[in-house]
Amino acid sequence: MKNVAVIGSGTMGNGIAHVFAQFNYQVNLIDINQTALDQALKTIEKNLDRQVAKGTLTDHQKQVTLQNISTFTVISEGVATADLIVEAATENIDLKLKIFKDLDLHAPKSAILASNTSSISITQIAAVTSRGEKVIGMHFMNPVPVMKLVEVIRGYQTSNETTDTIMELSKSLEKTPVEVNDYPGFVANRILMPMINEAIYTLYEGVAGVYEIDTVMKLGMAHPMGPLQLADFIGLDVCLAILKVLHDGFGNSKYAPCPLLINMVAAGRKGVKSGEGFYRYT
Ligand code: CAA
């Protein structure tokens, strides 16, 4: 496996492209928008510079990594010779289903189609393709170059061969893959999102303030970020969307999103990306 196409050049997509390119895969980074692709290359270069400054990467390795990435605005061209495609587009089911139909049409028949979805059903995505056994979840964590986990999600039809290939491939990126089954929220977000939601309820009910809640969790549980800061970092709209998947998928009120979260998203306070969430970023 040598040629990897990554769909979507946002935070996750550029991080995934960065890591594959750093480990000598040829990466085609695909987005409909050339400006977004140019911005992604700048972000990758900035993040490579951090690694060079830290001494974990040489300047030569940085240059090779950048040379390993080509950009495309047309899916059919970008995936034509891919062995693996990792989709990291916006977390919207209709968009993902459309992309996977296109991938099934244009990618080589032997290619594995992976999604970086944080909570959309892999089985449902696979159902719009003619190669369900080759569709799998490859859920990286943000920031991708730093976080060691890849949550590998087996859809209902995913074959052992596809799973083994993706487990090995993740190790070649110096990540630790963990195999899980395809149920709402998989494992990462099934456990993380109720914690974040509970932190928001704790604020909403006036038990404590933002600083106090985050400090309890940071210093008390040794989390690198408190849950409210982490929610800002992930995006409050993304947190809300994942909670809705859990709530709908299990039909259990314990996953009901906190009204404060719903209000903040409706008001456009989405966290770091909008300049304000539980904290201000401007
Ligand atoms: N690329 C490369 N290196 C990066 C980087 C990037 N994008 N971002 C940070 N780094 C490096 C820095 O260079 C730094 O390296 P050194 O410590 O060796 O100098 C290190 O990471 C730490 O960065 P900072 O010093 O800037 O800041 P920090 O110490 O506060 O750490 C953090 C930042 C790594 C993000 C840390 O706060 C953290 O681990 N936070 C929690 C992240 C987390 O939980 N992610 C999962 C989110 S959930 C998700 O992604 C999935 C989902 O479905 C919602």
pLDDT tens for each residue of the chain, 282 residues long: 899 999 999 999 999 999 999 999 999 999 999 999 999 999 999 999 999 999 999 999 999 999 999 999 999 999 999 999 999 999 899 999 999 999 999 999 999 999 999 989 999 999 999 999 999 999 999 999 999 999 999 999 999 999 999 999 999 999 999 999 999 999 999 999 999 999 999 999 999 999 999 999 999 999 999 999 999 999 999 999 999 999 999 999 999 999 999 999 999 999 999 999 999 998
What's the pLDDT score for residue 216?
98
Q: What number of other Cβ atoms are within 10 A of residue 6's Cβ?
A: 33
**Active-site residue set:** 118, 139, 151, 189
Pocket test for ligand 1, best of 146, 189, 228, 230 (most atoms within 8 A of CB): 146
Residue 122 domain flag: yes
9 is in an annotated binding site: yes
Residue 282 confidence (pLDDT) = 87
Indicate whether 251 and 129 sit together in one domain: no
Q: What is the CATH number of the domain that holds 150?
A: 3.40.50.720
* pLDDT score at 207: 98
Do the beta carbons of residue 232 and residue 277 sit within 8 Å? Answer: yes
Q: pTM for this one?
A: 0.95
**Is the CB of residue 202 less than 8 Å from the CB of residue 215?**
no
> How far is ligand 1, taken at its centre, from the CA of residue 24, in Å?
23
Q: Which atom of ligand 1 is nearest to the CA of 142?
A: 50
* Domain boundary pick from 181, 201, 221: 181
Q: Is residue 145 located within the same domain as residue 37?
A: yes
Domain count, the chain: 2
12 known ligand binder: yes
**Atom in ligand 1 nearest the alpha carbon of residue 56:** 18
Atom of ligand 1 nearest to the CA of 192: 48
How many whole angstroms from 224 Cα to the centroid of ligand 1? 9
Tell me, what CATH number does 252's domain have? 1.10.1040.10
DSSP conformational letter for 255: G
Ligand 1 geometric centre to CA of 83 (Å): 29
Place of tokens 């989709």: 87
Ligand 1: atom nearest CA of 48 is 2
In this structure, which amino acid lies at residue 168? E
Domain boundary among 163, 181, 199: 181
pLDDT of residue 249: 95
Look up tokens 């400090």; give the residue: 215
Cβ of residue 27 lying under 6 Å from some atom of ligand 1: no
- Domain boundary at 181, 206, 232, which? 181
91 and 72 fall within a common domain: yes
ipTM above 0.85, yes or no: yes
Please tell me what DSSP assigns to residue 182.
-
Interacting residues of 154 by C-beta distance below 8 A, sequence separation 6+: 122, 136, 137, 163, 179, 180, 181, 182
Q: How far is the CA of 15 from the centre of ligand 1 (A)?
A: 12
Q: Is the minimum distance from the CB of 82 to ligand 1 under 6 angstroms?
A: no
Q: Classify residue 151: in a domain, yes or no.
A: yes
> Is ligand 1 within 6 A of the CB of residue 148?
no
My answer on whether 116 and 229 are in the same domain is no
In terms of Cβ atoms closer than 10 Å to its own Cβ (0-12, 13-18, 19+), residue 261 is buried
Q: In angstroms, rounded to a whole number, what is the distance separating the alpha carbons of residues 256 and 245?
A: 10
Which residues, in sequence order, are bridge partners of residue 191?
none
User: Both tokens of residue 202?
Assistant: 């704790």
119 and 195 both lie in a single domain: no
Residue whose pair of structure tokens reads 């459309």 in the numeric block? 98
- On the question of a cis peptide bond just before residue 224, with omega within 30 degrees of 0, the verdict is no
Q: Would you say the CB of residue 225 lies under 6 angstroms from ligand 1?
A: yes
Structural domain of residue 258, as residue ranges? 190-273
